[in-house]
Chains A and B, each alone.
Chain A
């Protein structure tokens, strides 16, 4: 009994203290993974905030963006041009979604819009496969997957670049949506379509804007995951990791998506490395979901979510 207690509550911490450089490496790995989760979660949050729609297709949008980029690169298009073209494709996709999916379904129940995004999910998956093929592809954007050592801590150059890019993107988006009138317009649209229209907010413009931004976020997430582990269809499954992030952070909170992502990223890496051996490993696979479950029981609106009180 005392042995077990020692193994759970003491040994991991002595391990951490014993090799601080390694601890820092584990933490950095966690931060990297966390930022990636945040990026995907952010795509969900943006669309949820603006239209109250839970966009099931966000994961596939990441895959679709990465596939498009890789497809263009394989055909010899320079990186910068390929990125610009991919952005154009994602914006065009936003226009198409607004016109063909959202507009015909305006004022429908949320569950109907949710079902529509499931349809969108399958369409994009099939369409991507049809256009770009189903093979696993290597994505090379010219950043070497090399490591260097600072004060005994091994840092991967690709991960570092990815983390910095994600951090910059997330900061810009947070400012954009929290501090500007477009942020207020977004929250207004999410809250009440009719009232938003009556104060002069054009719904269509807002929808195109958020789906475009969600598309751009999907590109960044797609490039980073793709560069790390290849572009393949399992990429769309990282959307499943974004769900616990959303539950932790709150569905309508941009800072929530970031903090939630970091908590889960760091939590699962630290858990895996220091407590994993106790239970035979694989903590990484379930940590996020168990944490989300705990949050659902204790604080269903998440860390930063808005607590809506319904009057009856």
Chain B
């Protein structure tokens, strides 16, 4: 479903810079993500990919520029507010609730979908219980979808790394996000696990219509699954286009293979 960015992108990043003191981690980056697209963000280590993702999900606030989601400005929102808009994410170093079971971890992804006053919740015993069951049913669907039935009662901290990544994806999907941000979803996985993860990312995109932005180092994966690729180097965007185009781009080749910077 490769296509040029239509008139109304789902997410618009416009001239965003993120600074840490004197270090400019992201330097006036602009990009747009169209609804239904799979966008890969690539670049050498330290290029500012994760920082950009953190700015989109509200963990960092840009020094300049603006970020709009669904045509509404949301540059300065906090992470919980960003999540409430329908943006879910995973982390580079898996951030699961290690003491909880897989099922409970995924249920936490439903917290935003649950109705009711945060404080009075406990009083509504009957409705709260019914609500819990409804959400439980949805979570079971996701568990089936990601093929993790066998580990649903296992504490997340005991799982091997590849499965933890999959559970993290499940928790993100439980929130029924419009935009899913994946920070190196295949890092540290073996070939088989990578293939599974690729399939899940593509299926998520097709079945739920979720728009996906992912950071990935494995070029094979990037070329296979993404509709469009954005390349960052030293905090700047150096290329933006279809995978087959990016593969031949001289600036990208330079950034990866190393060329004297002048």
A-B CB contacts (within 8 Å), total count: 98
Q: Nearest chain A CB to B124's CB is how many angstroms away?
A: 9
The answer to whether B118 has its CB under 8 Å from any CB of chain A is yes
The answer on a CB contact under 8 Å between A308 and B80 is no
The answer to whether B121 has its CB under 8 Å from any CB of chain A is yes
Q: Which residue of A lies closest to B124 (CB)?
A: A180
Given A197-B79, A200-B175, is A182 in contact with B99 using a C-beta cutoff of 8 Å? no
Expressed in whole angstroms, the Cα–Cα distance for A191 and B99 within the complex equals: 7
Expressed in whole angstroms, the Cα–Cα distance for A310 and B88 within the complex equals: 26
The answer on a CB contact under 8 Å between B80 and A306 is no
Given A176-B122, A199-B111, is A184 in contact with B104 using a C-beta cutoff of 8 Å? yes
- A203 neighbours in B (Cβ, 8 Å): 80
The answer on a CB contact under 8 Å between A195 and B80 is no
- Produce 1/0 per residue, B51-62, CB < 8 A to A: 000000101000
The answer to whether A168 has its CB under 8 Å from any CB of chain B is no
The answer on a CB contact under 8 Å between B83 and A198 is yes
The answer on a CB contact under 8 Å between B122 and A191 is no
* Count of interface residues, chain A, beta-carbon cutoff 8 Å: 31
- Produce 1/0 per residue, A178-202, CB < 8 A to B: 0111101101100110111111111
The answer on a CB contact under 8 Å between B111 and A198 is no
Residues 92-134 (chain B) with a chain A CB within 8 angstroms: 95-100, 104, 107-109, 111-112, 114, 118-119, 121-122, 128, 132
- B118 neighbours in A (Cβ, 8 Å): 182, 205, 209
- A192 neighbours in B (Cβ, 8 Å): 95-98
Q: Which residue of B lies closest to A202 (CB)?
A: B80
The answer to whether B158 has its CB under 8 Å from any CB of chain A is yes
Q: Which residue of B lies closest to A311 (CB)?
A: B157
Q: Of residues A187, A200, A309, A311, which shows the largest number of chain B Cβ atoms within 10 Å of its Cβ?
A: A200
The answer to whether A297 has its CB under 8 Å from any CB of chain B is no
The answer on a CB contact under 8 Å between B104 and A197 is no
- Give which listed residue, A180, A196, A209, A252, contacts B128 with CB less than 8 A: A180
The answer on a CB contact under 8 Å between B100 and A194 is no
- B107 neighbours in A (Cβ, 8 Å): 184
Q: Nearest chain B CB to A186's CB is how many angstroms away?
A: 11
Given A185-B111, A197-B80, A198-B95, is A308 in contact with B119 using a C-beta cutoff of 8 Å? no
Expressed in whole angstroms, the Cα–Cα distance for A127 and B254 within the complex equals: 65
Q: Which residue of B lies closest to A181 (CB)?
A: B114
Expressed in whole angstroms, the Cα–Cα distance for A310 and B98 within the complex equals: 9
- B84 neighbours in A (Cβ, 8 Å): 200
- A194 neighbours in B (Cβ, 8 Å): 59, 91, 95
Expressed in whole angstroms, the Cα–Cα distance for A197 and B83 within the complex equals: 8
Given A181-B121, A182-B118, A182-B121, is A199 in contact with B100 using a C-beta cutoff of 8 Å? no
Q: Which residue of A lies closest to B94 (CB)?
A: A195
Q: Nearest chain A CB to B210's CB is how many angstroms away?
A: 16
Expressed in whole angstroms, the Cα–Cα distance for A205 and B111 within the complex equals: 14
The answer on a CB contact under 8 Å between A199 and B59 is no
Given A195-B96, A197-B80, A199-B109, is A182 in contact with B122 using a C-beta cutoff of 8 Å? yes
Given A306-B99, A308-B157, is A199 in contact with B108 using a C-beta cutoff of 8 Å? yes
The answer to whether A290 has its CB under 8 Å from any CB of chain B is no
The answer on a CB contact under 8 Å between B91 and A198 is yes
Q: Nearest chain A CB to B81's CB is how many angstroms away?
A: 8
The answer to whether A175 has its CB under 8 Å from any CB of chain B is yes
Q: Nearest chain A CB to B126's CB is how many angstroms away?
A: 12
Expressed in whole angstroms, the Cα–Cα distance for A275 and B130 within the complex equals: 52
- B98 neighbours in A (Cβ, 8 Å): 191-192, 308
Q: Of residues A172, A198, A310, which shows the largest number of chain B Cβ atoms within 10 Å of its Cβ?
A: A198
Besides the contacts A176-B122, A209-B119, what 11 more A-B pairs have beta carbons closer than 8 Å? A180-B122, A181-B132, A182-B119, A182-B121, A182-B122, A184-B107, A185-B108, A192-B97, A199-B88, A202-B80, A309-B155
Q: Which residues of A contact B (CB under 8 A)?
A: 172, 175-176, 179-182, 184-185, 187-188, 191-192, 194-203, 205, 209, 252, 306, 308-311
A-B contact pairs, 16 of them (CB 8 A): A176-B122, A182-B119, A184-B108, A185-B111, A194-B95, A196-B97, A197-B79, A198-B59, A198-B79, A199-B171, A199-B172, A199-B175, A200-B80, A202-B78, A306-B99, A309-B157
